[in-house]
Structure formats: structure tokens, C-alpha cells
Amino acid sequence: MQLIDGKSLAQKVQENVAKEVEELKQVKNIVPGLAVLLIGDDPASHAYVNMKAKACERVGFYSITHNMPDTISQDEIIATIEMMNANPRIDGILVQLPLPKHIDTDKILEVIDPQKDVDGFHAYNVGRLVTGLDSFVACTPLGVMKMFEEYEIDLEGKDVCVVGASNIVGKPMASLLLNANATVTITHIFTKDLKAHTSKADIVVVGVGVPGLIKEDMVKEGAIVIDIGINRLEDGSLVGDVDFKNVAPKCSFITPVPGGVGPMTIAMLLSNTLKSAKQRV
Ligand SMILES: Nc1nc2c(c(=O)[nH]1)N[C@@H](CN(C=O)c1ccc(C(=O)N[C@@H](CCC(=O)O)C(=O)O)cc1)CN2
């Protein structure tokens, strides 16, 4: 069994981004800029946004965080996004999710200029991804693809079971895998027999937020298991959606939580923002 080390890979991606930022500054006098909108007081969202701001600082980006109370109106959020759309120093805009219940997430995401949509959540970029065109791709699934590349895991013709069909993880993950010529099954809350699907798969990718959902008898011998789940337990510890201790011995490759896919999310956000800055006109 080989552990896929997301922490080290994320570090490597960040170092490469930092080098490219230095070049971009010297050759074109461009400093990539990221704007983050953080609405409400969810502690996990605050922690992730802080991590993003620190990562931006490390690689030499300009970044701004718009911290807003959860009493804010939808129109005020839209006005802030429009301001960022028009700001020439800003190459990437993201709205930290989840949003408070009174805000319509789909409406908010549609306002972001698709050319600055470094989270890849805008319908324009989702459509381009599905059709196999170049686009901004959601950071977590993009990070998983980077892991496959780094560990030379060939996807062509592989049976992959994606557990979870969310817009930010499961669906873009399935599109990326399909574009890489894998045979993809997406399972979700209404799937009748989850085990029937996972146990046949060469690769299982899970991101649903249910601690320990994937058990030893649900994966085949030699499977590759990618755990996108991030669940904070009452004792403060962090676990994924896979029963790691019992599943790992059966796997050829597996990602841990923490230190697996999570750090790749921020690394790929930096990479997407750099890509956007390079496309500045
Ligand atoms: N607008 C977005 N919102 C959310 C996204 C996203 O990509 N865009 N993803 C998640 C949260 N997220 C980034 O926003 C994120 C999650 C986890 C990690 C991470 O590095 N996790 C570490 C553990 C960190 C800890 O101790 O808490 C790990 O798994 O090792 C980074 C970013 C939902 N919202």
C-alpha cells in the first residue's frame, strides 16, 4: 500500500506557482490577485479563508478578503462581486461555501465573471469542462487529478466509482475522469446498493461528509481509494469518509485525512489564479 501524500505535493505545486509569479512580475509586471468573499461566521470557512490568504502571501499574490456578516443581503454580495469583476488587479474571485441559508448560491456564483472564476463553479466553466474544453476546474477534483498524474496512475479504461454527486466535488470529478477515458459510475444518496458499485471499482473517489462510510468490505483488493471527506469529530480530530485503518491494507494507493486531498484544494486555487493572471489582456 502506498500513501498519496497531498501535503508534499501541494507544497511542490505552491513552489512552482511562486517561481512563475516571480517571472510574471519581472517579465510582464503582473502580480496575480485573488478576491475572497467570506459571508457569516462559520469557523471552518474562516479557517479555510485564512489558509487561502496565507498561501497567497507565500507565493507572492495580491489578495483581499471581503468579510461580511451573515445578515448581509444578496444584492450587497452581488455588488461586491461586480466591483471585483471590474477590478483590474483581481484575476480570481471566489465565494467561500457554504453560504448562509437566505442567500441563493446559484445566483451568486452566476455573477462572477467566468474569466475570473478560479473556483470553476460558474455554469460557463462547468459547461466547458463537460464538453472537454479548456476551463477553470473546481480545485478539489483538479487536485485529485494532479495526484493521479504525480503518482503515474493511469485512468484510461479504469472502472471508477465516484461517491457523491455535489456540484463542487462529485460532478466535476466525474467529468474529469470521463475526459481522461475512465469508465465512471456516480453514486449518490438515492443509490440502492452502494457496496455493489464500490466493490467492483478499480478506483473509488468519495466526498460526501459521512465519517467512515467506506468500509473494508466495500473495496476490492488492490483498489485505489481517494478520500475527499473532511469531518471534524467531537474530540476535535479530523477524519475522512473512509474507514482508513481497515481499508488501507487492501489498497494499492490511498489518501489520508488530514494530509491528502485537502491541501491540494488550496494549491490548485493558486494554480488557477496564476492561470487567470497569465490570461490577462
Ligand atoms: N468556494 C469554495 N468553498 C469551499 C471549497 C472550495 O474549493 N471553494 N472547498 C471546501 C473547503 N476548502 C476550501 O475552501 C478546504 C478544505 C480543506 C482544506 C485542507 O487543507 N484540509 C486539511 C486540514 C485542515 C484542517 O486542519 O482543518 C487536510 O485535509 O489535510 C483546504 C481547503 C468547502 N468550501
In terms of phi and psi (left: phi > 0; alpha: psi -120 to 50; beta: otherwise), the region of 254 is beta
Counting ligand 1 atoms within 8 A of each CB, the residue from 166, 230, 239 with the most, and so the one to mutate, is 230
Task: Quick: pLDDT tens for 243-258.
Answer: 999 999 999 999 999 9
In this structure, the residue with its CA closest to atom 18 of ligand 1 is 262
Phi, psi of 93 (to 5 degrees): -130, 135
The Cα–Cα gap between 108 and 116 comes to: 14
pLDDT of residue 161: 99
pLDDT for 54 equals 98
Nearest CA to ligand 1 atom 17: 262
Q: Just list the catalytic residues.
A: 52, 96, 119
Question: What pLDDT score was predicted for residue 201?
Answer: 98
pLDDT digits (tens, 9 = 90+) for 20-67: 999 999 999 999 999 999 999 999 999 999 999 999 999 999 999 999
Going from the C-alpha of 6 to that of each of 12, 116, 189, 228, 236, the distances in angstroms are 10, 26, 27, 11, 21
The pLDDT value recorded for residue 267 is 98
Q: Can you give the pLDDT at residue 110? A: 98
C-alpha cell at 54: 496565507
State residue 146's pLDDT score.
Answer: 99
What's the full length of the chain, in residues? 281
Cα(278)–Cα(275) distance, rounded to whole angstroms? 5
Atom from ligand 1 closest to the CA of residue 259: 30
| Residue ranges lining ligand 1, Cβ < 6 Å | 47-48, 51, 94-97, 119, 139-140, 230, 238, 257-259, 262-263, 265-266
- State ipTM: 0.99
In the chain the domains, ranked by start, together with CATH numbers, are 29-114 (3.40.50.10860), 139-262 (3.40.50.720)
The DSSP-derived string for 201-251 is: -SEEEE-SS-TT-B-GGGS-TTEEEEE---EE-TTS-EE-SB-HHHHGGGE
Return the pLDDT at 240: 98
Q: Kindly report the pTM of this predicted structure.
A: 0.98
Distance 97 CA to ligand 1 centre (A): 10
Ligand 1 centroid distance, CA of 76 (Å): 25
- Ligand 1 mean position, distance from CA 94 (Å): 13
Q: Please, are residues 259 and 7 in contact by the beta-carbon 8 Å criterion?
A: yes
Query: Where would I find the beta strands (DSSP E) of 111-228?
Result: 159-163, 183-187, 203-206, 223-227
Q: How far is the CA of 119 from the centre of ligand 1 (A)?
A: 12
Q: Which residues, given as ranges, of the chain have pLDDT below 50?
A: none
Residue 104 DSSP code: -
Which residues are CB-neighbours of 106 under 8 A, at least 6 positions away?
none
Strand partners, 256: none
